[in-house]
Amino acid sequence: MNQASIQGSWTHSFEEDQGDVQVYRPTHSFAFPPARGRDTLEFGEGGELIKQVPGPDDRPRSLRGNWTALGMNRFRLEGTMDAPGQVIEVVEQTTSVLKIRKI
Amino acid sequence: MAIKNLSKQKKDCGRKEDYSMPGSAKTMEIGNEQSEEAHTMPGENMSNEDISGMPSGGMGSGNMSGDKGNELSSGMPGGNMSGDKSSMEGDKGDEASSGMPGGNMSGDGDGGGDDGGGTPRSRSCATMDVHRQLLSRYPFYARARDEIENLAYQYAINPEVVQRPGVTRIPIVVHVVWNTPQQNISDTQINSQIDVLNRDFRRTNPDVNNTPAPFLPLTADARIEFFLANVDPNGAPSTGIDRRQTTVTSFSHDDAVKSQSTGGADAWPADRYLNIWVCQLGGGLLGYAQFPGGPVTTDGVVILHSAFGTTGTASPPFHLGRTATHEIGHWLNLNHIWGDDGTGCSGTDNVADTPNQAGSNTGTPIFPHVSCNNGPNGDMFMNYMDYVDDPAMLMFTAGQVTRMQACLDGPRSLIGIEAGAPRQSSSPVVAWGANRLDVFVLGSDRALYHKWWNGSAWGPSVTGYEAMGGVCTSSPQVVAWGPNRLDVFVIGTDSALYHKWWNGSAWGPSVTGYEAMGGVCLGDPRVVSWGPNRLDVFVIGTDRALYHKWWNGSAWGPSVTGYERMGGVCIGQPEVVAWGPNRLDVFVIGTDRALYHKWWDGSAWGPSLTGYERLGGVCMSAPRAVAWEANRLDVFVVGTDGALYHKWWDGSAWGPSLNGFERMGGICVGQPEVVAWGPNRLDVFVIGTDSALYHKWWNGSAWGPSLTGYEAMGGICTSMPRVTAWGPNRLDVFVTGTDSALYHKWWNGSAWGPSVTGYEAMGGVISSF
Ligand SMILES: [Zn+2]
């Protein structure tokens, strides 16, 4: 697993969560069933992070921040409103799934 | 708008006086009958024909005899065309708040309409950061939101201030914006959604009983119902369903579906309708809302077609119509139950009786789900404002209901009242809002006098009156086109029409001054308002033709002192009612004493500008008409035998027939009075030959106490009864007594106050009412 592979847009497929492991799927290729709202994490090439969350009126809202690789499959997500200095651990990743755990 | 500190005291509390009217026999029996209900009126002939033509009703031509068919926009015959006097002749310029001449001088000088109430306080609770960011980008929206939140906070700490009594019924327009035929959902699917809303917002959804026991006592009836609009913004009959085919295969959350120019459908006026757009949404989105205070062109909610209603394309797990319940919750200012702070514990939904909760819940959680130290009961995930599946959400709390009601009293104060709400004809008595009454009389000096009920007390005092100047020759005619707005019309000694108005803070042109409106009028004017800032005035000219003038929000038509001539040769006073926006129905009695009718349908007068529809009968009183819903009319007159007669328009035909009337018994003196406090409800009041008040009512299925029977209500009345209903199941009746003072009685939903045959004395020496 390398740093580049986390890049791209991943959307929370919460129906597949297992305990504290959250399952994300590729935003643009996975057939998500309808939901009241889903979180999306978009990891940019240069370390920029765009997090989409459902807003107070259920429209998706974009929050901007940064991500940095800490090594050991851990990443720091910073600058978004609801996740200041959050660290996640990637527990599994393929081209079709990203499983993470909040540390 | 300032926050009102209305105390919710019922007006019949603390009223110990139980007056009978002077000269009133203290018994409520007529003759030797028992004091049960179902009295017949004295002198009543007992013939029991239900539906008959009125005695000697002729079958004349469709136009009234003597109709000269002149054209519009003339001055009235003999009209004084010089006049822009802003005061009526004989105006003595008295100031506010005196007792009436000869009346009890107990006025307490508490002038003006309502009290401003407390000052807004800032909300102290935290708000959502995301929301705040949005607010900072849109300062206008931010200001509106601040006011809305201040009001919501006032209500939250003091829920008794909620102003709307009973149930608010909100008209909905459903814009079905479809690309594939499947997306063009059926009327059945739409109706299934309306049914869900009417259960969820009334707490009549059966699954509310699945609320976990600790939360069950918090569940509450939001007192809101919804119906597909039956009148469109132009006043035309409507199904409330607007179908548009589009080339857009899938809409986003960018409001494109809300504008025809971007492939959607334009909103109907958001102050009068709840707009719901149903369409294909991309990105798995089920729906989105707009909070109150935003742009009117995008106000409303958007719902994915397969998450709408309970049948057709509705698909599990969003197949129970709860997406619309949730989105309309936002539209009524409810926040997400977790406080919109991601998964933190610092956000709030601004409601006190919902537990603090970390993030949203999804699917069908198992109770209890604990977060943010909210054990043992945990999250209220079964609340409509969480993110769970349709079968898992089933309740609002009392705190959420208060917040929604604050929204209905504040930023959405016109909805459910203005839209399609029938407007009664003018009268000396009007209620511009819940628990509010304004009464106008002429004193012995024929000047205008005013008193009001502000929800907790009579102003200027129980028996005092505010002096409003003028020398009047007609009974005052008042309408309210909106909250805290009054327009009063009288005829002066020169037979011209005069007008004054209360704009919410002051009387115009002055407390005792009047706007001169020209004309030479016979009898009383009649006024109706079919919508906000709209007035239509009808008078009879010296040629006995009907004349009309109107206020369109910015100017008088055809001119300040000019009138539109509408033909006819009329006896007595015209009657006018508006069953919806831009709709008028006018009734007059012709020289053959038959009832005649004409109507404005939003674009033209029917049957013609000066023509009339003949509705038969031989009428001995002016007609009184009421509309309890759109496209419904009930008209009452007194026949040559003194009995009350009734006919109705049911939306397609006149009943019992075009020229026929239903005979309702009694021997009536003067004109009947009728009000409708709700759909399919009528209350009719007449004065009997013994000068007592009598009452009968239609309860939706039958006449009470019987078709031809009356409830005896005592009194010796010297005026026709004047009645208004400020809310569902509420009636206030005013008459004058043999001492020329005003008397009042009221129905509070369960009993008559001060008693069935008793009256509250309200002072004054009244020459016309
Ligand atoms: Zn929502």
Chain B residues within an 8 Å CB radius of A54: 360, 387
**Residue B157 above 60 pLDDT?**
yes
Alpha carbons B511 and B713: distance in angstroms, whole number = 36
Please state at what angle helix B187-200 crosses helix B322-331, rounded to 10 degrees: 60
Check: CB of residue B499 under 8 Å from CB of residue B56: no
Contact A56 B284 (CB under 8 A): no
Average pLDDT over residues B315-324: 98
Residue B46 has pLDDT above 90, yes or no: no
Q: How far is A11 from chain B (nearest CA, A)?
A: 11
Please write the tens of the pLDDT for every residue from B680-696: 889 999 999 999 999 99
Which residues of A make CB contacts under 8 Å with B?
A: 14-15, 32-38, 53-61, 63, 81-83
Q: For A37, which of B134, B315, B387 is closest by C-beta distance?
A: B387
Identity of residue B666: G
Least confident interval from B41-50, B410-419, B476-485: B41-50
Whether A55 sits inside 8 A of B131 (CB atoms) is: yes
Cα B292 to middle of ligand 1, angstroms? 14
Residue B158 CA to residue B155 CA, distance in Å, equals 5
pLDDT at A64: 87
Q: Which protein residues have a CB closer than 5 Å to ligand 1 (ion)?
A: A 58
Helix, strand or coil, per DSSP, at residue B745 = strand
| Shortest Cα distance, chain A CAs vs residue B148, angstroms | 16
Indicate the pairing of strand B722-724 with strand B742-747. Answer: unpaired
Encode B725-735: b = buried (16+ Cβ within 10 Å), e = exposed: bbbeebbbbbb
pLDDT tens sequence across B492-544: 999 999 999 998 889 999 999 999 999 999 989 999 998 778 899 999 999 99
User: Does pLDDT of B31 surpass 80?
Assistant: no
Average pLDDT of B627-656?
A: 93
Mutate to test the interface with A, among B133, B288, B291, B371 (most CBs of A within 10 A): B288
pLDDT (mean) for B430-440: 88
At residue B410, the pLDDT reads 84
Residue A56 has its nearest CB partner, among B131, B283, B363, at B131
Closest approach of A84 to chain B, Cα-based (Å): 11
Q: Given an 8 Å threshold on Cβ–Cβ distance, is B286 in contact with A34?
A: yes
Nearest to A56 among B286, B306, B336 (CB): B336
Contact yes or no for B288 and A58 at CB 8 A: yes
Question: Would you state the pLDDT for residue B78?
Answer: 28
- Residue A86: burial class (beta carbons within 10 Å; 0-12, 13-18, 19+): middle
pTM of the predicted structure, to 2 decimals: 0.57
Q: Is B564 a catalytic residue?
A: no
Q: Residue A83: what pLDDT?
A: 52
Residue B34 makes CB contacts below 8 A (sequence gap 6+) with none
Rounded to an integer, the average pLDDT of B40-50 is 31
Fold classification of A3-102 (topology level): Lipocalin (2.40.128)
Cα gap B363→B361, rounded to integer Å: 7
Separation CA B646–CA B660 (nearest Å): 9
pLDDT of residue B165: 64
pLDDT of B6 higher than 60:
no
Q: Which of B491-500, B603-612, B721-730 has the lowest mean pLDDT?
A: B721-730
> What does the domain layout of chain A look like in residue ranges?
3-102
Question: Is the CB of residue B577 less than 8 Å from the CB of residue B535?
Answer: no
Q: Chain A: nearest CA to B661, how far in angstroms?
A: 54
Among candidate residues B44, B149, B327, B760, the one labeled active-site is B327
Residues 6 or more apart whose CB falls under 8 angstroms from that of A74 comprise A87, A88, A89, A90, A103
Average pLDDT, integer, range B186-210:
97
Predicted confidence (pLDDT) at residue B272 exceeds the cutoff of 50: yes
Is the pLDDT at B124 greater than 80? The verdict is: no
